């Protein structure tokens, strides 16, 4: 059975993969991307806008996460569709996201980087913010599948979902600057 097509309007950016910003290897890539999102907060004083990354060979694709949500898209299915594209090596979600700590019902803002590879390996970096700022008593928490941690709830499993449901993206440029309709 073919999955239902759903059009999502969001901003998409893509460009060449800079080996320093997007190095190969689980820890190196995770650490670099965490430094990047933390740097946006520290250097520019802005909260990093959440996005979905798809990294393949020499190309990096960035999809605006709030655009997916505002279009009524299923974020998990959309991210799985990014993973379902030919040649994608790593998929990630990064930026400031609402996170639940210790089973709490209410979400708090946190700097997040979550990356997943097709073989099920993953990398997670999370640093809770207080009043939209970093505080010393709340350090970054880094976990990986290789260390035996359970995968954080609601994240990952994108590769198996893409295979099971046959998900991938079809991109169409819309009118105006930088907009795109994304179909999965």
Whether residue 3 has pLDDT greater than 90: no
Element (H, E) at 42: helix 26-44
Provide the 10 A C-beta neighbour count for residue 110.
20
pTM of structure: 0.88
119-171 pLDDT tens trace? 999 999 999 998 888 888 889 999 999 999 999 888 999 999 999 999 988 77
Mean pLDDT taken over the chain: 87
**What ranges make up the beta strands (E) of 57-177?**
59-64, 90-99, 108-116, 122-128, 141-144, 170-173
């Amino acid at each position: 059975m073919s999955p239902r097509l759903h059009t999502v309007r969001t901003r998409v950016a893509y460009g060449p993969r800079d080996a320093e910003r997007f190095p190969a290897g689980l820890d190196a890539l995770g650490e670099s991307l965490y430094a990047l999102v933390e740097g946006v907060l520290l250097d520019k004083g802005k909260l990093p806008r959440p996005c979905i990354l798809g990294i393949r060979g020499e190309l990096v694709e960035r999809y605006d996460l709030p655009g997916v949500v505002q279009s009524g898209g299923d974020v998990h299915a959309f991210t799985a569709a990014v993973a379902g594209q030919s040649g994608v090596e790593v998929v990630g979600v990064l930026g400031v996201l609402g996170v639940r700590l210790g089973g709490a019902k209410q979400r708090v803002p946190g700097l997040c980087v979550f990356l997943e590879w097709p073989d099920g390996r993953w990398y997670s970096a999370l640093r809770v913010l207080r009043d939209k700022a970093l505080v010393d008593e709340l350090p970054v928490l880094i976990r990986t599948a290789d260390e035996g941690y359970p995968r954080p709830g609601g994240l990952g499993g994108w590769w198996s979902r893409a295979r099971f449901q046959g998900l991938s993206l079809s991109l169409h440029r819309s009118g105006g600057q930088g907009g795109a309709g994304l179909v999965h």
